[in-house]
């Protein structure tokens, strides 16, 4: 049994207690509210150190939190009262271009992996921004710019190395520990510390994409979503309704006005890009058109990081095709926000829907659109007001029930249950087998039957 003294001898000054230099940086997470600090942070450099850290936490009676990319939409920092295992130094990437396989350490970001793969004209689809950790986005699902062509990120995981609650290390895949492999792909961080992942790569030399901005209307919103759903699989997009913030890529005359931003990506044959994007252009005269040929990693740059801490409140749901009543309600809600707020719509279908629903723990393949209602405030005391608006706006557009764990903020047990329709009981059985003490609970927690809720 590893004690904290044993762990400290192993990692030396990389075990940080609250009074240590670097502790604040190690516990800061983008978008997370500050709260009670963790008991300690250990900055690991190997799977062996991760295993020692987990055993030390168990010996001390502490739960374990994991820091990877450093985003926390769940609105908590890295585990009050816990031992935080910071895996960001597990940042190796290996690309086997001949076998179309990429390997990423548990601390690799989507941008770093994508840049390495892009040098070979290859890609694995993640989300829509490069700063997130591949572990977090992959284990929750992974809906992004290549999903309609290649499936979700979970559909492209080939194996995972994981440290379990007892400190043992497993490599899991479709043949070895298939129950755990199934649960990892969609079940989030409930089952252990993932120290490495291998992914299927797809040939993606260039993509054509960027932004189209339109004056919003209910009819135009429906037309944009339908244009993607009816397109070939190579077209993925996000459709956003928001009041335009003062961002440099939007002209000043749009700042403060409602806009519809379509962020599109065509990953099919470059010569077919014009035809594929034509239905989006046809929904109206764009206020801004910024579509061009890029490498896939360039498309993951995302918006600039807020200049000061910002706190998002989000609610997600899955729905069928939209009608104009949805757009009318969304635009009415935006007019009442009084803060930065947005509706983000991600048309699904394509390869997402063709994957058998029982293949992974992601439970929403039969739906057409994922909807996220969000508000962003820069004062943590304003979070309750933002939550009230998000809840009311979600009701106004008829959003209820099932959500997406990667975009949940402050999920209740009821929210977690709704996120896993039809698969929660099986996830709880896997949790009971591999983490019966619920050591890994600083996530959208799947609790073991009869075990501690944390």
Phi-psi region of 153 (alpha: psi -120 to 50; beta: other; left: phi over 0): alpha
Q: Is the pLDDT of residue 77 over 60?
A: no
Q: Is the pLDDT of residue 29 over 80?
A: no
Q: Is the pLDDT of residue 86 over 70?
A: yes
Q: Where are the beta strands (DSSP E) in 140-267?
A: 157-163, 169-172, 193-200, 202-203, 207-214, 235-243, 258-266
Percent of the residues in the chain that have a pLDDT greater than 90, as a whole number: 67
The class of domain 93-203 in CATH terms is alpha beta
Q: How many CA atoms lie within 13 A of 286 on its CB side?
A: 20
Q: 384: buried, middle or exposed (CB in 10 Å: 19+, 13-18, 0-12)?
A: exposed
CA torsion sign, 152 to 408 to 193 to 134? Answer: positive
Q: Is the pLDDT of residue 311 over 90?
A: no
Q: Which helix (H) or strand (E) is 26 found in, with range? A: helix 23-27
State the CATH architecture for 207-407: 3-Layer(aba) Sandwich (3.40)
Which residue from 204, 199, 201, 200 is spatially nearest to 234, judged by alpha carbons?
A: 204
Q: 99: buried, middle or exposed (CB in 10 Å: 19+, 13-18, 0-12)?
A: exposed
Q: Pick the residue with more confidence: 443 or 182?
A: 182
The pLDDT score that the predictor gives to residue 109 is 94
Which residue from 345, 398, 393, 371 is spatially nearest to 220, judged by alpha carbons?
A: 345
Task: Give the bridge partners for 163, in sequence order.
Answer: 169, 193
The pLDDT score that the predictor gives to residue 75 is 47
* Residue boundaries of the structural domains of the chain: 4-86, 93-203, 207-407
The pLDDT score that the predictor gives to residue 129 is 87
Average pLDDT (91-111) is: 97
Q: Is the pLDDT of residue 371 over 80?
A: yes
Band of residue 348 on the pLDDT scale cut at 50, 70, 90 = very high
Give the CA diameter of the chain: 66
Average pLDDT (339-355) is: 96
pLDDT digits (tens, 9 = 90+) for 260-286: 999 999 999 999 999 999 999 999 999
pLDDT digits (tens, 9 = 90+) for 408-448: 776 788 888 889 999 999 999 999 999 999 999 888 889 99
The answer to whether the CB of 87 falls within 8 A of the CB of 193 is: yes
Round the CA-based radius of gyration of the chain to a whole number and report it: 21
Fold of the 4-86 domain: 3.30.43
Q: Pick the residue with more confidence: 103 or 407?
A: 103
């Amino acid at each position: 049994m590893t004690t904290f003294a044993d762990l400290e001898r192993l990692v030396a000054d990389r075990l940080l207690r609250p009074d240590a230099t670097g502790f604040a940086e190690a516990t800061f997470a983008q978008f997370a509210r500050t709260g009670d600090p963790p008991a300690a942070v250990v900055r690991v450099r190997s799977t062996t150190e991760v295993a020692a850290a987990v055993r030390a936490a168990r010996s001390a009676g502490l739960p374990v939190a994991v820091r990877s990319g450093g985003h926390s939409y769940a609105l908590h920092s890295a585990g009050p009262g816990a031992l935080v295992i910071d895996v960001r130094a597990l940042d190796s990437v290996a690309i086997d271009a001949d076998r179309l396989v990429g390997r990423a350490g548990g601390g690799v970001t989507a941008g770093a992996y994508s840049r390495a793969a892009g040098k070979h004209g290859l890609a694995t689809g993640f989300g829509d921004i490069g700063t997130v950790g591949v572990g977090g986005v992959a284990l929750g699902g992974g809906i992004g710019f290549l999903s309609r062509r290649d499936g979700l990120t979970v559909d492209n995981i080939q194996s995972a190395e994981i440290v379990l609650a007892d400190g043992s290390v497993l490599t899991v895949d479709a043949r070895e520990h298939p129950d755990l492999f199934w649960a990892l792909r969609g079940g989030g961080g409930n089952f252990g510390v993932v120290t490495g992942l291998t992914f299927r790569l797809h040939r993606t030399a260039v993509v054509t994409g960027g932004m189209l901005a339109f004056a919003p209307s209910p009819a135009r919103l429906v037309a944009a979503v339908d244009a993607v759903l009816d397109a070939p699989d190579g077209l993925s997009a996000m459709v956003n309704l928001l009041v335009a913030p003062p961002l440099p890529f939007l002209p000043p005359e749009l700042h403060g006005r409602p806009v519809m931003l379509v962020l599109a990506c065509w990953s099919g044959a470059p010569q077919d890009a014009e035809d594929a994007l034509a239905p989006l252009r046809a929904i109206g005269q764009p206020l801004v058109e910024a579509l061009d040929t890029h490498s896939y990693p360039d498309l993951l740059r995302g918006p600039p990081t807020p200049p000061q801490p910002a706190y998002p409140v989000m609610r997600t749901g899955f729905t069928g095709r939209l009608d104009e009543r949805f757009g009318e309600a969304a635009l009415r809600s935006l007019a009442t926000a009084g803060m930065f707020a947005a509706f983000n719509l991600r048309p699904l279908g394509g390869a997402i829907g063709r994957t058998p629903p029982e293949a992974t723990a992601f439970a929403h393949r039969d739906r057409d659109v994922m909807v996220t209602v969000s508000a962003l405030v820069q004062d943590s005391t304003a979070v309750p007001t933002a939550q009230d608006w998000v809840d009311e706006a979600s009701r106004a557009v008829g959003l209820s029930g099932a959500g997406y764990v990667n975009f949940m903020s402050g999920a209740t047990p009821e929210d977690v249950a709704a996120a896993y329709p039809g698969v929660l009981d099986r996830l709880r059985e896997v949790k009971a087998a591999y983490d019966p003490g619920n050591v890994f609970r600083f996530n959208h927690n799947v609790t073991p039957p009869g075990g501690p809720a944390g």
